Chains A and B, each alone.
Chain A
Amino acid sequence: MTDAALRRFAVAINAETLALAWARQEAAPAGSVVVVDHEISPRGRLGRLWPQPPERTAVLAIVWRPALDANQADLVWLGASLGLLAAARSIAAGREMGLRWPDALVDAGERRLGEVRAEAQLGPGRVTSAVVTARLDLDELGHPDRDAVIAAMVEGLAAGAAELAADADGTRASYADACILTGRRVIARLLPRGTARGTVHGVDANGRLELVSSTGFVERVPVDNLDRLEMPAS
C-alpha cells in the first residue's frame, strides 16, 4: 500500500466520516484506507456505538468501488465481513470464529470480537462506491500490536473486495458457510416495525438474510430493515 492510499489520524470523529469525504470529494481510488487511532464517535450498524475504548480497538475504513447493481448493495456487508474474518483468523490462528449476519465477527461463545459497517453510495441503478468500516477488539483477540492488526485488516478487506468483484456467488456461499446463524431458528425484529421468523437458510443474491419456515415459505430481510436478531426460547 502506498502512502497516498492510506491516511492516518490520531483523533477523528470516526474513520468512516473521513473515508466518505475522501471518496466523495476527492474520488479516492478503490482500496484507499483511513486509519484512526482514537475515534470520538465509533458508530456501527444503525449508528450504534462500538462499546470498546479506543486503546483496545483497531479500526479502519476502506473505500470499495464494487461493480454491483443498486439492489445488491447489501453484498458489501458480506464481503466486508468475510474480509474481517480472514484478518482475524490470520491474527489469532487456530481460534474458532464465525460471522453473525449482518455485521458481527464472533468467537465460539458468540462474543463479539469485531464488526463491520458498509455505507454504499448509489448512482443511477448501481453502487458507485462503498466505504467499509471494520473494527476489532484487540483484547478479545489477545493481540496488543495494533499496527500488525491494522495491516492484517487491510489485507483481509482487500481480499474480501477482490472475492466480491470476482465471484459474488462465491462470496454468498462463503458467507453462508461462515455464518453461525445458518440452520438456526431466529426472530428478526424489523424496522420500522414487524417481525420475521424462520430458520436461516443463507443469504440471497442481494445479500438479504433468507428465513425459511417449516412449510417452505421464504422471507428475505435486507440489512437496512433489521433492528435486531433474537433466538427463540425454545
Chain B
Amino acid sequence: MSTVDSGDPVATAEAFLDAVAWAEHTTVWELLAPTARVAVLELATRRGMDTLLAARLREGTAAADERDDFLADLLHGLRAEVVGVDLEALRCVLGEGGTTVPGSVLVHLVADVPAELGDAVPVGRIEVVRSGGRWAVVRLDGAS
C-alpha cells in the first residue's frame, strides 16, 4: 500500500530522494515504476542473482530477509549515484529532455551556490513517469 504522495512528479522525485537518503528501503521499491523494477532485477540476475529469487522479489513473495538484502544492495547503488552530494541542500526542479521512456519527465536535482558563483549547480536527475495512476521513478542519475 502506498504511503507516499506520488501525485506530482517533483513531489515523487523528492520522496524518492528522501527515501534513498533515509534508507526507507521498501518505500524506494514502492516508488519505482514497474519497468524500473524489472530492469533492476534483470541487472541483478545478470550479475549473479538466483533467478528464482529474482522471481520471488518480482512477485513480492520473497522472505523479508531476502527482500531486505536485495534492497540494501539497491540502496547502496542508488546512494553511489549521489555520493558526495549534500542531500539536505538539494532542490528538485522540473526539467526538459533526456528522457528514456515515453511520457516521462525529468526532475533535475540542483544545489544552490552563492550568487557570485552563478546559477544553481545540477548534481543529478530523476526520471519519473505516470504509471498506474501515479508518478513513479524510472531512474536516478548522478551528475558524473
Contact = CB atoms under 8 A, between A and B. Distances in A.
B88 A211 contact: no
Contact of A217 (B71, B83, B84, B87): B71
Interface in B2-29: 21-27
Contacts, number: 39
Interface residues of B, number: 16
Given A193-B84, A195-B87, A233-B88, A214 B24 contact: yes
B84 A215 contact: no
Interface string A199-218: 00000000000010111110
Interface string B71-96: 11001000100011001100000000
Contacts of B22: 197-198, 213-214
A194 B21 contact: no
B23 A211 contact: yes
B140 to A, nearest CB: 16
Nearest to B75: A217
A213 B21 CA distance: 10
Interface string B25-65: 11100000000000000000000000000000000000000
Interface in A207-234: 211, 213-217, 219, 232-233
Contacts of B24: 213-215, 217
Interface in A164-210: 187, 193-198
Interface residues of A, number: 16
B23 A217 contact: yes
B88 A232 contact: yes
Contacts of A214: 22, 24, 27
Contacts of B72: 217
Contacts of B84: 193
Interface of B: 21-27, 68, 71-72, 75, 79, 83-84, 87-88
Given A198-B22, A215-B25, 4 more contacts: A193-B84, A195-B87, A217-B72, A219-B23
